[in-house]
Structure 1
C-alpha cells in the first residue's frame, strides 16, 4: 500500500502530466496554424506521450491501493513566437518536469518505498531523454536560422 504522502504527490504529478499534454497539444495547434505541419505532428506525439505518462502513474497508484484524484487543469498558453521560442519553452518545461520527478523519487526514498523508487526510475530516464531531445532540436533550429533550413527540420520532425 502506498503512503498518503506519496499518493498526494502522485496525484499532483498525474495532473501535471495532463497539463503538459495540453501544453503540447496547444503548441501543436499553434504550429499547424503557422504552417509547420512537421512541428505540429511532433508536438501532437508529445501530447500522446504525456497522457501515457499520466496513465502510467495513475495505474501504478491503483495497483498500490491508492486513489487517483483528477483535478481541473490550468489554462495553457496558446501563442508563441518563432519555432525556436516554442522549443526553448519546451526545454524549460521538461527541466521543470525533471525536477518534479526527482522530488517524487526523493519522497519515495524518504518514505522507504523501494517499489515506488524502482517504478520511478523509468521516469527519471525518460526525462533525461526528453531534455536531450528538446536541446537537440533547439541546436538544429539555431543552425538552420530563419532561412529554408527551418523547413527541413520541420519535415524531419514530421517523420516521427
Structure 2
C-alpha cells in the first residue's frame, strides 16, 4: 500500500483520537494534529460513483452508483453494463433505429397504410433491453447482510 504524508497539513489545536488513558504520554503518539481541508463525505461518495462509471462499456452513457449505510460505509458499488457472465462483444451497444411499420416509409407506428407489415424483434438490436442500471448492479454487488 502506498502512502503519502505531507507534514505541512497538520493543525495545531487537534486532539489525538483513539483509546488513550488519562495517564498516557501524548508525546509517545507522534504528531497529534490532523488536516481540516478534507473533502466532504458527499463529495467522497460521489467521487467513488464517478470513478466506477468509468468501468462502463456503454459508448454513450456512463453511470456509476455507490450505496452507503448510515455509518458512512460503502456497502455496494456498480455501473451500467451487461449482467454478469454476458460477453460485451456479443450484444448490441447502440439504440435500435426506428423502423417504419409499413412499406410506404411514413415512419409512423400507427400507420393505416394498406401495405402495413409487422416489424418484429426491433428490441433485440437495442442496448436498453440488455444493459442493467448502475443502481441495480450496486445492489447486486452489495454486501447483502448489511442491507
Asked if TM exceeds 0.5, the reply is no
Higher strand residue share: 2
- Of structures 1 and 2, the larger Rg is shown by 2
Higher helix residue share: 1
TM category, shorter: under 0.3
TM-score, normalised to structure 2's length? 0.25
